[in-house]
Amino acid sequence: MLSLSEENHLKSIFHLSLNSDSGVSTNSIANNLNTKASSVTEMLKKLSEKSLIVYIKYHGAQLTELGRKTALKIIRKHRLWEVFLVEKLDFKWDEVHEIAEQLEHIQSEKLTNKLDKFLNFPTHDPHGDPIPNPAGFIKITPKLKLSDLGIGETGKFIGVKDSSSAFLKYLDKRKISLGCNIKVLHQEEFDQSLHIGLDDTNLTISVKSASNLYITKI
């Protein structure tokens, strides 16, 4: 059985590796987990000894097949618990991440599978991220950032890059919700802010906000 810290490091390596073709650096993991690089180095040695990663000093860490499957199991639990909290306990989508961070470490695979069935086998969490299936398969949907769309183009809002509570509350205030269609109407030359059209209203958002919204072009 892995410790909470070991599981958190595996999950961090998985997420960081999505944006890296080579090994994930010690500093990247330390920044992601808000800890010291020296502590990460010691943990990477432990994970390497358990055949969960391949770690070469100064070249970073890469998940082994066993490490990848283990990380996906943790992510699966996290995202299923987020769905449960939103759909069954009426939590808001900006409230569930920290709670799911605790619940994801429950070790019962039977509980996880029963939770999946109870929720009618959801494919995505409340933030639009795909949920791995019991076999560890995760479907990655091609997606763009809203900031990548041109004037006059439309996309369907499918997820967020920044899942912080502050950003999710920002979206709620502007009634930007998953599944809505967003059309780029105009971009300001001065600060690159975007004027966008939603299903029933128009508003202006910063380029920073637009770069944190994932869409599929329609």
CATH classification (class only), 144-217: mainly beta
Q: What is the pLDDT of residue 14?
A: 94
Q: What is the pLDDT of residue 60?
A: 87
**Where do you find CATH 1.10.10.10 in the chain?**
4-63
Separation CA 126–CA 96 (nearest Å) = 9
Cβ count within 10 A of residue 76: 24
**Where do you find CATH 2.30.30.90 in the chain?**
144-217
Q: What is the pLDDT of residue 200?
A: 82
Q: Along the 218 residues of the chain, how does pLDDT read in single tens digits?
A: 899 999 999 999 999 998 777 789 999 999 999 999 999 999 999 999 999 999 988 788 999 999 999 999 999 999 999 999 999 999 999 999 999 999 999 999 999 999 999 999 999 999 999 999 999 888 877 789 999 999 999 999 999 999 899 999 999 999 999 999 999 999 999 999 999 999 889 999 999 999 999 999 98
- The model's pTM is 0.86
Architecture of the domain made up of 4-63: Orthogonal Bundle (1.10)
